[in-house]
A and B are shown apart, each in its own frame.
Chain A
């Protein structure tokens, strides 16, 4: 249990690896475009593309070319967000959200159609259509779409009897006579256009329309009225006047009626393309609904499909979340990100104006599994239930009891990528925990378990495995084709009659296997994200449960800080425990036991969680192919078998196939390059010997790296005995199929064991076996012979790490500081304010670890509490072999620990913005700025608009100035700020500001005429322009009436003037600001 925090920290470290800031090396700098085509990366000049900007010695965030902003071209109304300055060939401004006046969207009216777009785009469209610009900034999207249906349209009769069906404005621009609501085929107009039997679709409209001989659209297609002259006379509107009005399916698949309605299920489409027999013409209302697996879906509906049971950590290996969309009669497949990096959420109902509407809608969203694990570090203060997709899993085995926050939807792992595999191993390793059992001699003087006895029972194995599996593709589980894999965990340790159960219960396996079944009607609902809840693992561990541990008189399994070296140490840590003592030398140690303290014996049960391993072979590989609804992927394919490979990756013919089984056994050989801590000798086909550099035996407590390679992809195990591969409990590095395998071990001092009465000898061997992807085991045993130096221990202990670290800073109000010292061998430690001999140091530390059971990955732990009043220096020394009662080897030089204390507590100074911000855009880009002082060296600030519960770390933070760029809508805002330094001291503040969008157009306050001049005064206007034709004039082409508040027009008697005024934010009324007749 000791390491869970630390292990989780490692996982989070992997997850957040992207935030690493690398120091620049010699000759390195910011390259705008690398040879790989990446922008703004650190490289040397050779890694930079020819002609690309290269700023040597400069970080990219200090390079102007790499600044993010908005690249735009006002004249064409194009605004591109988040563009690097160096990529922009036109205007650029440092607002990545493009919250600019010109980027405001409005309704561009183009005859009988309307488009919701920028004014610049509207100008381009209008120019291309040969129309005046009619852009209305005061309409929203829906209003704009509806506007298309209310434009006045009619027959525009031109010279010579020609006719064009168009809008009134267009007609005037053509110089025609406009007959509103009339069709060009109207017998009243006597044009040259005639009735036809042709139909067509019309852009922006749903229905099928008749078309006349001049190419103009007429009324909705109604086969029964194709020859009815009255139907070709005027536009027919109104309920009941048109065929199929109110049809529940939008006249989908009607052969005779083209009154389509996309919202009800019909939209105009080519009948010939769809092989549909229509009575007249070539168009009909295509049915936009979809049928999928017997269920009907409306156009636009989308829903989630899963591969098995979802949630509660039960997503099966190889599974993916799928999103299907009904798009105009066709079901489209959108796989969410593979390896369950995304999950599919679904809602079935919407409330519209108080009415519940049934409409399925789904979304692939990121899987926040890492956030769940991060909560266990306890730094965020959030509860597990408050974060979506997390739940608390409880392990309760006697006093071995904790809650841990785990993901509802565990991630899948990429087993083939080395880095990803390492990360997977680290994630799974969170669940590698040790249960400390306590034995006492009973009245018959026999050892009897008295504490945590159930750790040797099935419940421990099952519960811990559930924890293991919930972290991702860890442990034993089932894949998408019901393939079961037994690997992925081991349970070792225990004592005598209290040996642990090494396999899962049949009931649990059956329950796991049932998870391949999709639960009918089950989907992830956004409503599932409940708030509130209780404490997490860490809270519990540091609270009541900590007391429980102390009650037992056992060492409290608290975690220590610093995980950087842990990766190297992790393997050796457990190996030392399990192999060095518990396994290889088990025959020697038992039945005496490891270490007897009075009449109490402590024994661990070790649960090791590793990544899930695919079933051997490739019998199921091809099951991944051929399903268009669930296309195969690397992850899916590999989950089906160790020999499965996705071939033709990236091609249209991706296939999951099995490697050819050549029938050969994997051959093992030395991997000399990786060997350290010793030198390999006598290498042969059956093994090698490892000796010290001088040819002698190896030193104790020195990390030794062993390495072997295999002739083919294989996973390897080792043990101190010659036992079957299946029964070997130690993975040689990892349980992944690799060519190169390495493991780090550390061996104890023989004299220490001997001093305890154990007859340890210096020579021993490790036996290695490997298994290839088809399940073929290597022949015989590959043996690694080693020997340990014998003789009295004369070396002083090594202080491997100290927490807090030297030169660390403590909280401002801290008066005492927990100290933890880790040594390579079992020792006692002392500290003092003066650098003096160990024997003279006055402060004895608490050293509760027992021989053979270091409680920290860095080694044996001694702890104390340091008084901290001001910045201080402490001296630490340790002495080994505590069983010698003060006659062991002591450090001759002190470990010097300096602790600093800040001058004053971290303080939040200015927070900006504040007050009122008036803008002309729907969204506003603001820079949330925070200044801090005091406290430690590193300040991290977070913000939230909903309180202090869900803080988000600011983008630029870490120093004393903190900045977050945000795009906010108009309204009142209260930003909550919390800043914390590395000591944990924090301060809170907030800022309130209001964003007001000025979307009103300027008002005309007064109008008067003086002679031939028309005067008017406006409020808040920048400029007024006018036309003498109508209010629907283009701003660019209109005449100016001057800027500012006072305007004038040289007017003509009897003329009507249509005036529009624009304010500083570009607001112009859709209609006119004023229409006036000059007397």
Chain B
């Protein structure tokens, strides 16, 4: 857990300051899996601790448990996987219209089949689309997260009652917020405790990258061009690369602070025979 927090602290805080310590320890998927295991072990050890030390019967009180933390770690992993896919696929979980370049499918964000004409933005309001994409992509995994949490606690002798789940995803500066509501009630011999808010914030520059992408797409659709090196000069936190390939332009927008990369393509004013 400490590593997650350490990485998180690298991102913009409320004071607007980016923390640059611990660069290079961005949490990988595999690590997250380990964290879940560690989380489970922690829950188990806490349970064990209370089992051994508390109460006359030596039984644990559910008021000391933290199902939120369990679920949050799980949700974070799911959302981060979705974000990775979206960054790779130009704003979609599964790229819809692509060009193969350097062995990868680059999703078109702005496209026109005709030659000479500027492209249409085929993914307008990209932030909103990405929010929907993430919501759909994590739906099953959110359910799985609660199932795992329930199983974990039931294994420890608790009764778990669950209500309906509602959630939404918001892309925000520096992070992605998952607003997750679900009524969860843990009951044991010593009492009952209710939980409602399972919301979690995942540090990611995706919102900021999408803004840069919008600048590029708006430039390409209006002028068939985007002066990316000037943009990078003014905003040095972003590195933008462009290649002309097969009548399309391949764009890569990199957040230098995190190394996150948003990949996409445009086909605009293509001069084709």
Contacts and interface: CB of A to CB of B under 8 A. Distances in A.
Given A83-B120, A84-B120, A112-B16, A302 B229 contact: yes
A338 interface: yes
Given A84-B120, A336-B244, A650 B15 contact: no
A84 B119 CA distance: 10
Given A88-B125, A341-B271, A202 B116 contact: no
Nearest to A66: B120
A807 interface: no
B113 interface: yes
Interface string A66-91: 00100111001011111110011110
A676 to B, nearest CB: 27
B187 interface: no
**Chain B interface helix/strand/loop/mixed:** loop
Instruction: Indicate the member of B24, B175, B230, B233 with the most A CB atoms within 10 Å.
Output: B233
Given A83-B124, A87-B120, A89-B128, A202 B271 contact: no
Interface stretch (B70-78, B79-87, B142-150, B213-221): B213-221
Contact of B128 (A79, A90, A420): A90
Given A203-B16, A334-B244, A366 B103 contact: no
Nearest to B227: A363
Interface residues of A, number: 94
A170 B17 CA distance: 13
Contact of A82 (B19, B103, B121, B229): B121
A129 B17 CA distance: 10
A202 B17 contact: yes
B33 interface: no
A809 to B, nearest CB: 29
Contacts of A336: 244
Interface string B134-166: 000000000000000000000000000000000
B122 A200 contact: no
Instruction: Indicate the member of B13, B172, B269, B273 with the most A CB atoms within 10 Å.
Output: B273
Contact of A337 (B18, B234, B271): B271
B273 A419 contact: yes
A103 to B, nearest CB: 10
Given A170-B15, A198-B21, A420 B273 contact: yes
B222 A967 contact: yes
Contacts of A80: 121, 124-126, 214, 217-218
Interface stretch (B41-49, B51-59, B94-102): B94-102
A366 B124 contact: no
Interface string A324-356: 010110001111111001100000000000000
Interface stretch (A37-45, A666-674, A886-894): A37-45
Interface string B5-21: 00001001111111111
B270 to A, nearest CB: 8
Nearest to A73: B125
B23 interface: yes
A87 B222 contact: no
B88 to A, nearest CB: 14
B16 A110 contact: yes
A261 B139 CA distance: 47
A313 interface: no
B128 A166 contact: no
A37 B273 contact: no
Given A68-B120, A82-B118, A203 B237 contact: yes
A300 interface: yes
Given A76-B127, A302-B229, A417-B273, A267 B16 contact: no
**Chain A interface helix/strand/loop/mixed:** mixed
Nearest to B102: A652
A37 B94 CA distance: 14
A41 to B, nearest CB: 7
B18 A327 contact: no
B183 interface: no
A18 B114 contact: yes
A242 interface: no
Instruction: Indicate the member of B123, B124, B246 with the most A CB atoms within 10 Å.
Output: B124
Contacts of B232: 300, 327-328
A124 B172 contact: yes
A603 interface: no
A87 B229 contact: no
Contacts of B14: 129-130
Interface string B243-263: 111110000000011000000
Contact of B121 (A73, A83, A262, A335): A83
Instruction: Indicate the member of B21, B211, B232, B247 with the most A CB atoms within 10 Å.
Output: B21
Contact of A653 (B99, B103, B229): B103
Given A80-B214, A302-B229, A88 B124 contact: yes
Nearest to A217: B17
B117 interface: yes
Contacts of A84: 120, 122
A299 interface: yes
Interface string A754-768: 000000000000000
B244 A71 contact: no
B201 to A, nearest CB: 10
B21 A166 contact: no
Contact of B229 (A327, A633, A650): A327
Interface string A985-1008: 000000000000000000000000
Given A81-B218, A200-B19, A89 B120 contact: no
Contacts of A414: 273
A364 interface: yes
A338 to B, nearest CB: 7
A113 interface: yes
Nearest to B219: A81
Interface string A10-50: 00001001100000000000000000111101000000000
Contacts of B237: 203
Nearest to A341: B271
B241 interface: yes
A712 B99 CA distance: 30
A273 B23 contact: yes
A18 B115 contact: yes
Contacts of A112: 16
A170 B14 CA distance: 10
Contacts of B122: 39, 84, 87
A98 B97 CA distance: 25
A386 B241 CA distance: 34
B214 A78 contact: yes
6 contacts: A14-B273, A18-B114, A68-B120, A80-B214, A111-B15, A272-B24
The 8 lowest CB-CB distance pairs between A and B, nearest first, are A650-B100, A71-B124, A652-B103, A82-B221, A420-B273, A80-B124, A37-B97, A300-B233
Interface of B: 9, 12-21, 23-24, 96-97, 99-104, 111-128, 172-175, 211, 214, 217-218, 221-222, 224, 227, 229-230, 232-234, 236-237, 239, 241-247, 256-257, 269, 271, 273
Given A270-B24, A650-B246, 18 more contacts: A73-B128, A79-B218, A81-B221, A82-B120, A84-B120, A87-B123, A89-B124, A89-B125, A117-B211, A170-B15, A202-B17, A328-B232, A328-B236, A336-B244, A366-B269, A414-B273, A419-B273, A651-B100
